[in-house]
């Protein structure tokens, strides 16, 4: 027989009620003879090592970033949730002031055989988004030494929690009623079982006292957040004396767990069920537990009068209630706080073992992502030294990328998969296209067909083989940042075919003097300027494209080496005036070269001019004698001497026109090649690509070192948004690193 007197506290209340209790001794004795089933299982069902690691992950705030397995107790404010927690913890939570219903509470049980009696310590896990000062203050808050069941010190501790969290304690103080921070109660002792549960504020629909409609929404959102965690086990507490189907907490649980795979339902207040309605409750429990789901457990807590008197043994009263009809029809596996505690250990351990590998893998992924996000922000830039260091690093990386691009070291980085960063290749391709356009479309008139050289053959082939009559002087799509200084695209037509001799004769007639059989030397300047009239459009289109491509390279290269877009924009903004100046220098140089070639005196020391002229004259003679060939041998053509000596009557004007044509053709070819080389080497390569004053060289170590502290802060100083993001990511990394150490420990 169970010694009831050993379980009860000696008090006048119990002595006066002994006649009522003693008959129940025989009922309890019969309970002792029944198979213990779940009640008899050892508490070692729980895995203390895994459970302790999960609790430490919560303490590290890992739960803010990944879903952790947990038991969460939810219910209405009047559901009896607090009584269930009291039964589990053997603590009397303050009721009259509502001190423990305004934030989530994590209750951790730990068995420590080294202790003589239970010890209770409390700490606070700060909510996310707090300032570093408030977070540090909450983390430093501690309370310990609470041991007795009804200690007034526990009430004082809860008041201290409210104060630390900054919650309202009186009407009109302007402080919030609820907090998202978590109170952590750790209960250790020689008889404690390994278990951890989280209690959240009870949901409510009507405002009372200092609560507002906003508080209703806040609490509901808080409860839903804990319930929606796919790795949580929900303990939904509902009173047995109401219509279960109308309970909002059951509906909320079904929304997040429609299969009811992680919902353990607890019925309270069976003593308040109307007479005759007990069978409905009993059937609900038995059917729910026969379905293979977590099902229902019935618990009977103390009434308000018993709680006020504080002299009744709660567990004994529950066992006595169990043996009264019709509640003795409930299976013992589905009744009582002891059964609930063992069921919780089973459910939590099974759940933790199932999801623990997932938690470990997800934590590793989240940690790697957070570190990557921090790296994307670059170095911390609070001080001038840090800001200068960040810019120096950017300048060095930019210089290295530029050098690799110009040396075509494209294999050094996957960055060069982007074509816009292959500057050497882009420039070389545009140079070739410029040279081709000048050779094919640069001259106004095609030179005499029977005297075409190789370039003119190419021109003839292009004009005859293509249906395109006009091409644009610009080949690049341009860049909006620099378009204001660039030349607009111009359509460049094909050279005019068949009219060059007539044009030369007209110009000659309009400008001749008293020359005898010759022509005025200034005539060549006039003809050259007219024949090269399309050079400006082609050349200005070329240099505009080069500027656009160089500027695009600078911007993209800066984006690659500078992860912070604000810094990249700051650098570009501060360099833009100097960039524009250097771009304009290349344009000015193009205009300079055009003036020299088109407005200056035709001149060359290149013997290639004489070679071209001799070839032109030879071709003219050959063309004249070709109809007189009488026989041909290999590499030999025979013409009668009399035919050669035959006089070819030609006017002085036509003779002069032929001579002018040959000289113009020979000089034009020399001048065009000279001009193309000069533009590519000087205006483009020297001014824009490889020269010491090339725009890419502006972003340099010397430029960074020349910046004042004010400029440094303007360019590289962290804006408030970046500072907040960095603090958040650093906190996340620190929390996840602490969690990783917990898992590897």
- At residue 184, the 3 state secondary structure works out as strand
- At residue 146, the 3 state secondary structure works out as strand
If asked whether residues 29 and 46 sit together in one domain, one would say no
Mention every residue, 6+ apart, whose C-beta is less than 8 A from residue 459: 439, 440, 441, 443, 446, 452, 495
Q: Output b/e per residue, 528-554; b: 16+ Cβ within 10 A.
A: beebbebbbbbbbbbbbbbbbbbbbbb
| β-strand pairing of 70-75 with 195-199 | parallel
Q: State the pLDDT at residue 28.
A: 36
Any domain includes 247: yes
Q: For residue range 289-329, list pLDDT tens digits in order.
A: 877 788 899 999 887 777 767 778 888 888 888 888 899 89
Any domain includes 320: yes
CB distance 582 to 484 below 8 Å:
no
If asked whether residues 78 and 11 sit together in one domain, one would say no
If asked whether residues 24 and 45 sit together in one domain, one would say no
If asked whether residues 149 and 169 sit together in one domain, one would say yes
SS3 content of the chain, % helix, strand, coil (to 5): 60, 10, 30
Any domain includes 644: no
If asked whether residues 145 and 280 sit together in one domain, one would say yes
If asked whether residues 303 and 357 sit together in one domain, one would say yes
If asked whether residues 14 and 50 sit together in one domain, one would say no
Nearest to 553 by CA among 697, 434, 390, 692: 697
Any domain includes 290: yes
If asked whether residues 336 and 266 sit together in one domain, one would say yes
Q: State the pLDDT at residue 13.
A: 33
227's tokens: 């319930």
The total number of structural domains in the chain stands at 3
Query: What is the DSSP code string of 690-723?
Result: SSTT-GGGGSSHHHHHT--HHHHHHHHPPPHHHH
Q: What is the DSSP letter of 647?
A: -
CATH code, domain carrying 130: 3.40.50.300
CA distance 531 to 592: 18
Any domain includes 744: no
H or E stretch including 222?
helix 213-228
Any domain includes 61: yes
| β-strand pairing of 296-298 with 263-268 | parallel
Domain final residue, candidates 309, 335, 368 = 368
Query: What is the DSSP code string of 308-369?
Result: HHT-S-HHHHHHHHHTSTTGGGS-GGGBSHHHHHHHHHHHHHHHHHHHHHHHHHHHHHHHHH
**How crowded is residue 709: how many other Cβ atoms within 10 Å of its Cβ?**
13
Domain final residue, candidates 304, 338, 368 = 368
CA distance 350 to 272: 34
CA distance 461 to 455: 10
CB distance 263 to 247 below 8 Å:
no
Helix, strand counts (H, E) of the chain: 26, 13
Nearest to 656 by CA among 517, 474, 473, 499: 517
Dihedral of alpha carbons 665, 667, 670, 673, sign? negative
If asked whether residues 395 and 358 sit together in one domain, one would say no
CA distance 130 to 606: 79
State which residues of the chain have pLDDT below 70: 1-47, 92-101, 144-154, 171-173, 193, 207-210, 308, 449-468, 513-521, 617-618, 620-633, 639-653
Q: State the pLDDT at residue 96.
A: 52
If asked whether residues 310 and 419 sit together in one domain, one would say no
H or E stretch including 192?
none
What residue numbers bound the domain in which 695 lies?
386-629+649-717
Domain final residue, candidates 368, 403, 428 = 368
If asked whether residues 333 and 471 sit together in one domain, one would say no
Q: For residue range 29-71, list pLDDT tens digits in order.
A: 433 333 333 333 444 445 678 878 888 888 888 888 888 888 8
The label of the residue with tokens 């150490």 reads 741
Nearest to 71 by CA among 113, 109, 14, 26: 109
CA distance 209 to 219: 16
H or E stretch including 462?
helix 454-465
Cα-flanking dihedrals φ and ψ of residue 638, to 5°? Answer: -105, 130
Task: Tell the burial category of 85 from Cβ atoms under 10 Å away from its Cβ (0-12, 13-18, 19+).
Answer: buried
CA distance 300 to 240: 10
Any domain includes 172: yes
Strands (E), 617-706: 629-633, 636-639
318's tokens: 């529950």
If asked whether residues 494 and 537 sit together in one domain, one would say yes
483's tokens: 């378009």
Nearest to 248 by CA among 227, 229, 233, 271: 227
Length of the chain: 745
Dihedral of alpha carbons 634, 640, 641, 647, sign? negative
Any domain includes 4: yes
Nearest to 69 by CA among 255, 252, 195, 201: 195
């Amino acid at each position: 027989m169970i010694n009831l007197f050993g379980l009860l506290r000696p008090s006048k209340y119990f002595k006066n009620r002994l006649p009522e209790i003693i008959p129940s001794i025989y009922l309890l004795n019969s309970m002792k003879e029944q198979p213990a089933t779940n009640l008899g299982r050892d508490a070692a069902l729980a895995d203390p090592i895994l459970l302790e690691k999960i609790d430490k992950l919560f303490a590290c705030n890992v739960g803010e970033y990944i879903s952790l397995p947990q038991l969460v107790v939810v219910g209405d404010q009047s559901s009896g949730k607090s009584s269930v927690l009291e039964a589990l913890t053997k603590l009397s939570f303050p009721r009259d002031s509502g001190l423990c219903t305004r934030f989530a509470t994590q209750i951790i049980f730990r068995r420590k055989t080294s202790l003589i009696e239970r010890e209770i310590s409390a700490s606070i896990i700060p909510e996310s988004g707090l300032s570093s000062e408030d977070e540090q203050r909450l983390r430093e808050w501690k309370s310990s030494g609470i041991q007795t069941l009804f200690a007034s010190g526990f009430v004082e501790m809860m008041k201290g929690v409210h104060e630390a969290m900054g919650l309202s304690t009186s009407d009109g103080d302007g402080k919030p009623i609820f907090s998202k921070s978590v109170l952590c109660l750790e209960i250790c002792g020689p008889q404690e079982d390994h278990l951890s549960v989280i209690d959240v504020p009870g949901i409510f629909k009507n405002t009372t006292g200092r609560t507002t409609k906003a508080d209703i929404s806040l609490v509901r959102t808080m409860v839903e957040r804990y319930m929606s965690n796919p790795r949580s086990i929900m303990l939904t507490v509902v009173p047995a004396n109401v219509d279960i189907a109308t309970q909002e907490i059951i509906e909320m649980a079904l929304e997040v767990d429609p299969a009811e795979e992680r919902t353990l339902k607890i019925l309270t207040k069976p003593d308040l069920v109307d007479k005759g309605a007990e069978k409905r409750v009993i059937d609900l429990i038995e059917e729910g537990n026969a379905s293979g789901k977590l099902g229902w457990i019935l618990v009977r807590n103390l009434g308000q009068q018993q709680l006020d008197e504080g002299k009744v043994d709660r567990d004994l009263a529950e066992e006595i209630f169990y043996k009264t009809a019709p509640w003795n029809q409930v299976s013992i596996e589905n009744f009582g706080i002891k059964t609930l505690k063992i069921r919780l250990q089973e459910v939590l351990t099974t759940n933790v073992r199932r999801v623990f590998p997932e938690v470990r893998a997800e934590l590793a992924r989240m940690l790697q992502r957070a570190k990557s996000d921090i790296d994307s922000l670059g170095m911390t830039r609070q001080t001038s030294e840090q800001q200068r260091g960040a810019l120096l690093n950017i300048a060095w990386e930019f210089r290295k990328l530029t050098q690799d691009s110009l040396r075509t070291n494209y294999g050094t980085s996957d960055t060069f998969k982007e074509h816009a960063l292959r500057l050497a290749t882009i420039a070389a391709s545009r140079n070739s296209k410029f040279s081709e356009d000048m050779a094919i479309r640069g001259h106004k008139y095609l030179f005499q067909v029977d005297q075409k050289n190789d370039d003119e053959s190419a021109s003839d082939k292009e004009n005859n083989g293509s249906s395109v009559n006009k091409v644009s002087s610009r080949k690049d799509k341009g860049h909006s940042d620099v378009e204001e200084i660039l030349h607009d695209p111009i359509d460049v037509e094909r050279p005019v075919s068949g009219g060059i001799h007539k044009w030369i004769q007209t110009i000659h007639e309009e400008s001749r003097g008293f020359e005898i059989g010759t022509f005025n030397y200034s005539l060549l300047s006039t003809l050259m300027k007219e024949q090269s009239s399309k050079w400006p459009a082609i050349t200005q289109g070329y240099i505009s494209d080069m500027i656009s491509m160089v500027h695009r390279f600078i911007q993209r290269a800066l984006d690659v080496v500078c992860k912070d877009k604000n810094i990249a924009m700051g650098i570009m903004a501060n360099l833009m005036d100097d960039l524009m100046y250097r771009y304009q220098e290349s344009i000015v140089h193009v205009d300079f070269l055009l003036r020299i070639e088109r407005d200056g005196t035709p001149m060359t020391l290149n013997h290639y001019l004489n070679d071209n002229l001799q070839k032109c004259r030879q071709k003219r003679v050959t063309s004249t004698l070709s109809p007189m060939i009488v026989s041909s041998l290999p590499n030999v053509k025979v013409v009668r001497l009399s035919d050669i000596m035959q006089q070819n009557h030609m006017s002085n004007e036509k003779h002069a026109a032929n001579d002018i044509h040959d000289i113009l053709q020979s000089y034009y070819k020399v001048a065009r090649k000279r001009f193309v080389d000069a533009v590519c080497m000087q205006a483009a390569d020297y001014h824009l690509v490889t020269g010491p004053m090339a725009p890419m060289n502006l972003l340099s170590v010397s430029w960074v070192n020349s910046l004042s502290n004010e400029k440094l802060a303007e360019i590289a100083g962290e804006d408030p948004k970046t500072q907040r993001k960095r603090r958040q990511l650093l906190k996340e990394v620190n929390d996840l690193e602490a969690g990783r150490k917990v898992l590897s420990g």
